[in-house]
Structure 1
Amino acid sequence: MILLKNLLYWLCVSIFTVFHFMYVAVSLLFGVKVANRACTQWALTLVWLLEHIIGLKYEVKGLENIPDEPVVICCKHQSGWETLILQKFFRPIVFVAKKELFKIPFFGWGLKLAGTIGIDRKDRLGASRQLLEVGGLRKKQGFSIAIFPEGTRIKPGLRGRYKLGGARIANTLEMPIVPVALNSGEFWPKNSFMKYPGTISVVVGKPINPVGQGPEAVMQQVETWIEGQQRLIEGRGPFANKPVAAEQDERTGS
């Protein structure tokens, strides 16, 4: 039954994506914010399909912590689900992503049209410059900026190396950081065709003011808060990781 539901989900996603992309492309004629809004509609439709076809629901705590101004969102990254749901709570929003994603038909093209900040992870200096230049422009346009500080998807129960890009954006552009913890990987395994029913837990933290602090100090606060919350919400899904020791972390960053 789960397989059939996933096949139906992917069929709906494929058909909807092809037709909706034309709407996104036309919306670009009215500016990046309109195109971004059209892409957000695509993302929220996928969230609806996941909930009503797969049975993948969610619960959120801490929405009152989201300020009414552009922020840098530093979010735990376990699956593709968070790239969808963050667009519901932070509007408008752009993501920081590796520029190779822009080559993916429809999905990648939509990312680029939506104003995503594409970086070349092999060129660290160029990536940092791109983050600040385009990030500054997106802030002026009223966008919040979402970045996954571990740089890649991390399996549930594990921890990657937290990089400083998000803290540098926040420091340079004087934007508060909002940390987000979640356990989506317990229901949507990495690189898996299958998604599984259940309820994802999301926790939004209070904004962290970067002014007067260095990037290292800021990111340490982000990491401490996120990983503390992860311990409270993990272990609820079918693909939850059961670590050998409570404090065992993976710091490979891959």
Structure 2
Amino acid sequence: MHLIRSSVFAILLALVTIPYALFAILIFWLPPMTRHRLITSWVPIMMWIIRHVLGIRYRIVGAENMPAGPAVVLSKHQSAWETIALQQIFPPLCYVLKKEVLRIPFFGWGMASIPGIAIDRSAGKDALAQVVEQGRKRLKEGLWVVVFPEGTRVAPGKTGRYKPGGAILAKRAGVPVVPVAHNAGEFWRRNAFIKRPGEVIVSIGPAIEVKGVKADEINKRAEAWIEAEMRRLFPHHYARPAPGSIQ
């Protein structure tokens, strides 16, 4: 059954995404925010398919923690699910992503047509400058910015090194950081064709204010909350408590 569901999903994903990508190319002349609104209408369609074909639903914890204005979201990254779902959960947003993603046929072409933050990860320190420069522009435009601080998808129960780029952007832009924990990787694993039904819990933490706090400390606070929340909500993935966490 999981194989059949996943196969149907793959077919529907292609049938929906390819026309949207071509549409995104055709509306290149429209203002950026108009393109963003039109192209991201793809999201609720895909979320409906994910729920009703794959059987993956979600529940939000801590929605009241969202600040009124734009913020930098520092999120756990386990699968492709959150790259779609966060666009439905939060106000209009964009992602920090690798330039290579924009070269992916159809999906990447659509991403290239909406305001985002595409960086050259091989540029070293210049990559951070790209995040800050482009990120401040997006925040001023009214978009939230999502950063996956671990840099890549990490399997459930694992923790990658939290890079400070998102915290530095928030500090320079003067906007709060919103930490997010979730368990999407339980049902949609990295590079896995077969997805499994279940409920993703998305926990939104209290906003971390940046005034008077150094970027490294902001990053540490976000990591501490996310990793403690992961262990609180999903203890079955962790054999030992997070270093420095309160039990």
User: What is the TM-score with the length of structure 2 in the denominator?
Assistant: 0.94
Q: Could you tell me which runs of 5 or more consecutive residues in structure 2 were left unpaired when the two chains were aligned.
A: none
Residue 34 of structure 1: how far off its partner (Å):
1.6
Task: Tell me if structure 1 keeps the 8 A contact 2:168–2:215.
Answer: yes
1: CA distance, partners of 2:13 / 2:77: 22
For residue 244 of structure 1, report the CA deviation from its aligned partner.
3.9
Change (3 A) 1:122 1:29: same
RMSD: 1.6
Q: CA deviation at 1:46?
A: 1.4
Alignment partners' CA distance in 1, 2:38 and 2:80: 19
The residue number in structure 2 matching 1:106 is 106
Deviations 1:35-70 (A, max 9, x none): 212332212221110100011111111111112211
Deviations 1:127-156 (A, max 9, x none): 111111111211121111000011111110
SS in 2 for 1:122: helix
Identify the residue that residue 252 of structure 1 maps to in structure 2: none
Q: How much identity, in percent, do the aligned residues show?
A: 36
With over 3 angstroms needed to count, the CA separation of the structure-2 counterparts of 1:43 and 1:232, relative to structure 1, is same
CA drift at 1:247: 4.0
2:208 aligned residue: 208
Where has structure 1 moved over 6 Å in runs of 4 or more? Answer: none
1:195 maps to 195
- Check whether the contact 1:96–1:118 (CA below 8 A) recurs between aligned residues: yes
Shift of 1:118: 0.8
The C-alpha deviation readout for 1:146-205, integer Å capped at 9, x for no partner, is 000111111101111001001100010101101100000011111111111010111001
For the 8 Å contact 2:20–2:110, the answer to whether it is kept is no
Kindly provide the CA deviation profile for residues 209-231 of structure 1, in whole angstroms up to 9, marking residues without a partner as x: 11111111101110010011101
Distance in 2 (CA, whole Å) between partners of 1:244 and 1:157 is 8
Aligned pairs for 1:1-254 within 5 A: 1-234=1-234, 241=237, 243-247=238-242
Distance 1:225 1:128 in 2: 23
Q: Aligned partners of 1:20 and 1:100: how far apart in 2?
A: 20
| Compared CA separation, residues 248 and 208, structure 1 to 2 (3 A) | closer
Q: Which runs of 5+ in 1 are unaligned?
A: 250-254
Three-state SS of the structure 1 residue aligned to 2:118 is: strand
Q: How many residues align?
A: 244
Kindly provide the amino acid, as one letter, of the partner of residue 246 in structure 1. Answer: P
